[in-house]
């Protein structure tokens, strides 16, 4: 046959533009999804619960000082909001492309897999930032109510660190999402790691063995709460129990606690983000739609 | 002629093509596709047939970079899909398996995403999306969320996505799968319309009648190996010892005696038989030339022909014979 065909006048945009396109539509999908509303509800519930409890009981730990308020309110809860956001938006982000077959719609197009990966990551980061932003707003409104308009600089620093930590958690969840074949498995393993395993390993390593757990992401995330403590906590704290203080007699024991310092914490968060994001991307690039 | 104009003219005369060159895909010791060599060029519709697990979908996935070949190359318009995916797929519309669409998006948004990724000009985007959606009869649902759609409705949107950017090559993996009879017929009409627009369509299907109805050529694959690639009539005549079968539809009811009389007037007809009230089948020797002559002779007889097409059962016979030989 010799029939000819005119080529279309479409001009495929650059990969960076395609990242933006993927981010935009994935964000719309996230924003309208049930998971967004569930997470929003959980965040509002945490905020409402804290508002009611602090308002009703007026605890000294919260209301004695401005930094104490932000430390107790934000320092203890923000990491959970971040972890939940990461799990909700990152848990099945990549594995879903294979398992739910959404990849068959977007990927057989003139677009690099890396553009889809980065676009989806940015969308998950944006949706999580929106949730974290709402929790920040609730914190600030309560802080302003009790202490006036002077929001401490340490809180701004803590919010910034929390935002970095969010990026790292998203990177980590995307890595697991690329690694597993089932979204349920990916989500459960990520949740167990962040909510239990990391804390457990961190405690065992530092308390019993006396080694600084610099290789655990949640250890690096300590800086979110630590920065709200004045003075900044000591790097290494050894607490001794028993022993009676008699020379040469050691019947007691000591526990070691490490507090991540800001440069170390930022380094841990940054390295985790880079390593897991890159590994996740490599896995996504080599994974095949063979199912 | 200025260089730019010459370039435009060259682009205008490029024939759409897809080519598998020694294309193989192995999973351990299992060869899903084995040294497939197939070159399809020009505006036509080619049916890709084979039993389950023959390697049809794997081949199409290698043509869309969803799977990497173990060896060999998949080329579209002369461009290696795996080395230059963005360039190779810029003028390709695809429908592989039964894709899912992000559930919270509407068809308008999902198709906007594809249109933007494919670089459909902003000024044309809205019109093209609405036309594509109209073509698959989903106008009423264009602003409803996809999450609530049935399988068939989603499949229609995916067909719309494949034709949205007016591609020169269309790769379809069982495009009518999951559709109701009306949907199947509409998708076939869309494929026929694409043929008229001078596109190269490569479609896998299990429905031999569909392939007979829509395709000009057929490639049959089994155990990952290409068994045959030729025109529909050549494939059927080769396998049936040179005999082809066409199905003829008449405006009026036809009886057995009339069919016999027609056959008697044309000596090259091997056999003629009545199918139902208004259709009959003619077995004859030869390929496309004989088929053309037969049509001309029948038209001269003024018997009220309203349709004339290669019989699907002939393809079925050829298909079964080829597949049986490889068992």
Answer whether B57 touches A (CB < 8 Å): no
Would you state the torsion angle of the CA atoms of residues B181, B153, B133, B117, taken in this order, to the nearest 10 degrees? Answer: -130
| B238 domain residue, yes or no | yes
| Cβ-Cβ contacts under 8 Å, A10 against chain B | 90-91, 118-121, 165-166
Q: d(Cα B179, Cα B159) in Å, to the nearest integer?
A: 11
Q: How close A44 gets to chain B, by Cα (Å)?
A: 23
Count of domains observed in chain A = 1
Decide if pLDDT at A7 tops 70. no
Last residue of a domain, one of B200, B223, B246: B223
Is B102 in Cβ contact with A3 (below 8 Å)? no
| Cβ-Cβ contacts under 8 Å, B163 against chain A | none
CB atoms within 10 A of CB A276: 22
The closest CB to that of B90, out of A12, A100, A105, belongs to A12
pLDDT in tens, A86-134: 999 998 899 999 999 999 999 999 999 999 999 999 999 999 999 999 9
| A169 domain residue, yes or no | yes
Quick one: average pLDDT of A54-74? 93
Range of the domain at B248: 233-324
Helix (H, G, I), strand (E, B) or coil at A258: strand
Chain A: residue whose CA lies nearest to B106:
A29
CATH number for B193: 3.40.50.300
- Phi/psi class of residue A248: alpha, beta or left (left: φ > 0; alpha: ψ in -120 to 50)? left
| B317 domain residue, yes or no | yes
What pLDDT, on the 0 to 100 scale, is given for residue B273?
83
What pLDDT, on the 0 to 100 scale, is given for residue B7?
53
DSSP conformation class of B78:
T
Chain B: residue whose CA lies nearest to A22:
B113
Instruction: Tell me the residue ranges of DSSP E strands in chain B.
Output: 17-27, 30-41, 44-49, 71-76, 79-80, 92-95, 169-173, 200-204, 217-222, 225-231, 243-250, 269-274, 279-285, 305-310
Residue from B9, B83, B104, B149 whose CB has the most chain A CBs within 10 Å, to mutate: B104
| Cβ-Cβ contacts under 8 Å, B86 against chain A | 12, 15, 110-112
* The pairing of beta strand B30-41 with beta strand B17-27: antiparallel
What pLDDT, on the 0 to 100 scale, is given for residue B6?
57
| B37 domain residue, yes or no | yes
- Check whether residue B120 and residue B265 sit in a common domain: no
pLDDT in tens, A194-203: 999 999 999 8
Answer whether B78 touches A (CB < 8 Å): no
Q: How close A17 gets to chain B, by Cα (Å)?
A: 8
The closest CB to that of B67, out of A3, A15, A288, belongs to A288
Rg of chain B, C-alpha, whole Å: 22
Q: d(Cα A16, Cα B86) in Å, to the nearest integer?
A: 13
- Check whether residue B145 and residue B277 sit in a common domain: no
Question: How many CB pairs below 8 Å do chains A and B form together?
Answer: 154
| A43 domain residue, yes or no | yes
- Check whether residue B218 and residue B247 sit in a common domain: no
Count of domains observed in chain B = 2
- Check whether residue B159 and residue B36 sit in a common domain: yes
Is B99 in Cβ contact with A102 (below 8 Å)? yes
| Cβ-Cβ contacts under 8 Å, B41 against chain A | 1
| B311 domain residue, yes or no | yes
**Interface confidence (ipTM) of the complex:** 0.89
- Check whether residue B25 and residue B60 sit in a common domain: yes
| A143 domain residue, yes or no | yes
> What tokens does A189 get?
């393993």
pLDDT in tens, A142-152: 999 999 988 99
Decide if pLDDT at A246 tops 80. no
- Check whether residue B149 and residue B184 sit in a common domain: yes
> What tokens does B253 get?
């009811």
Last residue of a domain, one of B192, B223, B254: B223
What pLDDT, on the 0 to 100 scale, is given for residue B4?
58
Q: d(Cα A92, Cα A90) in Å, to the nearest integer?
A: 6
- Check whether residue B40 and residue B76 sit in a common domain: yes
Decide if pLDDT at A85 tops 90. yes
- The more confidently predicted of residues A209 and A248 is A209
What pLDDT, on the 0 to 100 scale, is given for residue B10?
52
Is A6 in Cβ contact with B100 (below 8 Å)? no
Chain B: residue whose CA lies nearest to A2:
B42
- Check whether residue B283 and residue B160 sit in a common domain: no
| A22 domain residue, yes or no | yes
Contacts (Cβ under 8 Å, ≥6 apart) of B124: none
pLDDT tens track, chain B, 327 positions: 565 555 555 544 568 999 999 999 999 999 999 999 999 999 999 999 999 889 999 999 999 999 999 999 999 999 999 999 999 999 999 999 989 999 999 999 999 999 999 999 999 999 999 999 998 989 999 999 999 999 889 999 999 999 999 999 999 999 988 888 888 888 888 888 888 888 899 999 988 888 988 999 999 999 999 999 999 888 887 776 667 788 888 888 877 777 777 777 787 888 888 877 788 888 887 777 788 888 888 888 888 889 888 776 778 878 888 887 665
> What tokens does A19 get?
């990242």
Q: d(Cα B298, Cα B275) in Å, to the nearest integer?
A: 17
Answer whether B193 touches A (CB < 8 Å): no
Q: d(Cα B171, Cα B232) in Å, to the nearest integer?
A: 19
* The pairing of beta strand B44-49 with beta strand B217-222: parallel
What pLDDT, on the 0 to 100 scale, is given for residue B242?
66
| B228 domain residue, yes or no | no
What pLDDT, on the 0 to 100 scale, is given for residue A6?
47
Is-cis flag, bond preceding A231, omega within 30? yes
Is B11 in Cβ contact with A7 (below 8 Å)? yes
Residues in chain A: 291
Is A21 in Cβ contact with B91 (below 8 Å)? no
| Cβ-Cβ contacts under 8 Å, A109 against chain B | 89, 94, 114, 117-118
Q: d(Cα B125, Cα B109) in Å, to the nearest integer?
A: 11
Nearest alpha carbon to residue A4 among B270, B252, B14, B98: B14
- pTM listed for this prediction: 0.87
Is residue B54 within 8 A of residue B327, CB to CB? The reply is no
Is A5 in Cβ contact with B94 (below 8 Å)? no
Nearest alpha carbon to residue B76 among A289, A109, A144: A109
The closest CB to that of B15, out of A4, A105, A107, belongs to A4
Is residue A241 within 8 A of residue A95, CB to CB? The reply is no
- The more confidently predicted of residues B272 and A226 is A226
- The more confidently predicted of residues A2 and B114 is B114
Q: d(Cα A174, Cα B283) in Å, to the nearest integer?
A: 61
| Cβ-Cβ contacts under 8 Å, A24 against chain B | 113
Quick one: average pLDDT of A232-240? 88
Range of the domain at A20: 15-200+265-286
Chain B: residue whose CA lies nearest to A97:
B100
Residue from A105, A116, A118, A124 whose CB has the most chain B CBs within 10 Å, to mutate: A105
Is residue B233 within 8 A of residue B44, CB to CB? The reply is no
Answer whether B16 touches A (CB < 8 Å): yes
- The more confidently predicted of residues A236 and B240 is A236
| B31 domain residue, yes or no | yes
Last residue of a domain, one of B223, B248, B263: B223
- Check whether residue B274 and residue B318 sit in a common domain: yes
- The sign of the torsion formed by the CA atoms of A98, A103, A109, A113 equals negative
The closest CB to that of A10, out of B99, B120, B200, belongs to B120
Q: How close B282 gets to chain A, by Cα (Å)?
A: 27
Q: How close A95 gets to chain B, by Cα (Å)?
A: 13
- Check whether residue B185 and residue B270 sit in a common domain: no
DSSP conformation class of B28:
T
Decide if pLDDT at A157 tops 90. yes
């Amino acid at each position: 046959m010799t029939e000819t065909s005119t080529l279309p006048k479409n001009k495929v945009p650059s990969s960076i533009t395609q990242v933006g396109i993927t981010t935009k539509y994935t964000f719309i999908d996230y924003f309208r999804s049930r998971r967004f509303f569930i997470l929003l509800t959980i965040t509002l519930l945490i905020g409402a619960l804290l508002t009611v409890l602090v308002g009703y009981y007026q605890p000294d730990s919260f209301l004695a000082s401005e930094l104490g308020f932000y430390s107790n309110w934000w320092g203890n809860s923000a990491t959970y909001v971040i972890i939940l956001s990461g799990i909700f938006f990152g848990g099945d982000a990549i594995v879903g492309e294979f398992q739910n077959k959404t990849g068959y719609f977007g990927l057989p197009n003139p677009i690099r897999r890396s553009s889809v990966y980065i676009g989806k990551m940015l969308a998950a980061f944006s949706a999580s930032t929106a949730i974290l932003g709402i929790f920040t707003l609730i914190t600030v409104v309560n802080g302003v109510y009790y202490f006036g308009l002077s929001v401490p600089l340490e809180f701004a620093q803590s919010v910034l660190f929390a935002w970095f930590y969010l990026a790292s958690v998203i990177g980590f969840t995307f890595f697991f999402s690329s690694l597993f074949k089932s979204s349920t498995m990916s989500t459960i393993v990520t949740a167990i790691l962040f909510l239990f395993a990391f804390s457990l390993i961190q405690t065992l390593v530092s308390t019993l063995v006396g080694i600084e757990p610099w290789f655990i992401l949640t250890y690096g995330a300590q800086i979110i709460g630590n920065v709200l403590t004045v003075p900044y906590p000591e790097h290494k704290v050894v607490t001794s129990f028993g022993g009676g203080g008699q020379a040469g007699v050691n019947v007691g024991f000591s526990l070691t606690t490490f507090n991540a310092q800001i440069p170390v914490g930022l380094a841990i968060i940054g390295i985790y983000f880079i390593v897991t994001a890159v590994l996740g991307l490599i896995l996504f690039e080599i994974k095949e739609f063979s199912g | 002629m200025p260089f730019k104009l010459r370039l435009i003219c060259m682009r205008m005369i490029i024939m759409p093509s897809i080519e598998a060159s020694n294309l193989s895909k192995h999973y351990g010791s299992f060869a899903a596709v084995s040294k497939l060599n197939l070159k399809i060029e020009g505006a036509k519709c080619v049916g890709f047939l084979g039993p389950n697990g023959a390697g049809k979908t794997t081949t199409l996935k290698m043509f869309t970079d969803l799977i990497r070949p173990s060896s060999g190359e998949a080329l579209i318009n002369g461009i290696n899909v795996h080395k230059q995916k963005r360039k190779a797929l810029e003028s390709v519309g695809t429908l592989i398996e039964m894709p899912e669409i992000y559930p919270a998006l509407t068809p308008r948004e999902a198709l906007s995403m594809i249109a933007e990724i494919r670089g459909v000009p902003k000024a044309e985007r809205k019109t093209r999306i609405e036309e594509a959606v109209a073509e698959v009869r989903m106008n009423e649902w264009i602003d409803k969320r996809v999450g609530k759609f049935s399988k068939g409705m989603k499949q229609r949107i995916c067909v719309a996505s494949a034709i949205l950017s007016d591609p020169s090559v269309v790769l379809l993996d069982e495009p009518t799968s999951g559709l109701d009879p009306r949907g199947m017929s509409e998708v076939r009409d869309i494929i026929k319309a694409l043929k008229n627009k001078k596109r190269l369509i490569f479609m896998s299907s299990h429905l031999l009648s569909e392939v007979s109805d829509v395709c000009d050529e057929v490639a049959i694959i089994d155990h990952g190996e290409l068994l045959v690639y030729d025109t529909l009539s050549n494939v059927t005549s080769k396998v049936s010892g040179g005999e082809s079968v066409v199905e003829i539809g008449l405006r009026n009811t036809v009886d057995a005696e009339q069919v016999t009389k027609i056959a008697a007037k044309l000596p090259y007809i091997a056999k003629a038989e009545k199918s139902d009230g208004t259709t009959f089948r003619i077995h004859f020797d030869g390929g496309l030339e004989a088929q053309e002559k037969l049509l001309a002779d029948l038209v001269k007889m003024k018997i009220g022909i309203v349709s004339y097409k290669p019989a699907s059962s002939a393809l079925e016979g050829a298909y079964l014979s080829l597949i049986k030989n490889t068992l």
